[in-house]
Amino acid sequence: MTHTIGRFAPSPTGPLHAGSLVAALASWLDARAHGGQWLIRIEDVDTPRCVAGMDQLILQQLSVCGLQPDAPVVWQSQRTALYQEALDALIDSSQAYACACSRKDIEAAQAQERPRHTELIYPGTCRAGLHGKAGRAWRLRTDKFITNSPLRPNDIARAASFSIADDSVHWVDRRLGPQQQNVAQEVGDFVLKRADGFFAYQLAVVVDDAAQGVTDVVRGEDLADNTARQIWLQQCLGLPSPRTLHTPLVLGANGEKLSKQNGAAPLDSQNPFGALNQAAAVLGLLPQTASVPEALQAWTLQWRALMS
Binding residues for Zn ion, rule: CB under 5 A, are 99, 101, 125-126
CB of 195 to Zn ion, least distance (A): 10
CB of 61 to Zn ion, least distance (A): 41
Residue 82's CB is within 10 A of a number of other CB atoms, namely 17
Whole-number Å distance between alpha carbons of 88 and 96:
8
CB of 65 to Zn ion, least distance (A): 44
CB of 219 to Zn ion, least distance (A): 30
Hey, CA dihedral for 124, 125, 130, 135, is it positive or negative?
negative
CB of 121 to Zn ion, least distance (A): 12
Decide: residue 266, CB within 10 A, 0-12 exposed, 13-18 middle, 19+ buried: middle
**Closer residue to Zn ion (CB): 64 or 99:** 99
**Closer residue to Zn ion (CB): 106 or 214:** 106
Cβ-contact 56, 43 below 8 angstroms: no
**Closer residue to Zn ion (CB): 108 or 306:** 108
Position 247, amino acid: T
CB of 126 to Zn ion, least distance (A): 3
According to DSSP, the residues that pair with 94 across neighbouring strands are none
**Closer residue to Zn ion (CB): 96 or 231:** 96
* Residues with Cβ within 8 Å of residue 42, at least 6 apart in sequence: 9, 10, 11, 12, 55, 58, 73, 74, 75, 76
3-class secondary-structure state, position 39: strand
CB of 114 to Zn ion, least distance (A): 16
**Closer residue to Zn ion (CB): 98 or 151:** 98
**Closer residue to Zn ion (CB): 125 or 179:** 125
**Closer residue to Zn ion (CB): 203 or 285:** 203
Cβ-contact 35, 4 below 8 angstroms: yes
Long-range contacts of 281-289 (CB under 8 A, 24+ apart): 282/22, 282/247, 282/248, 282/250, 283/22, 283/25, 283/26, 283/29, 283/247, 283/248
Q: How many residues does the chain have?
A: 308
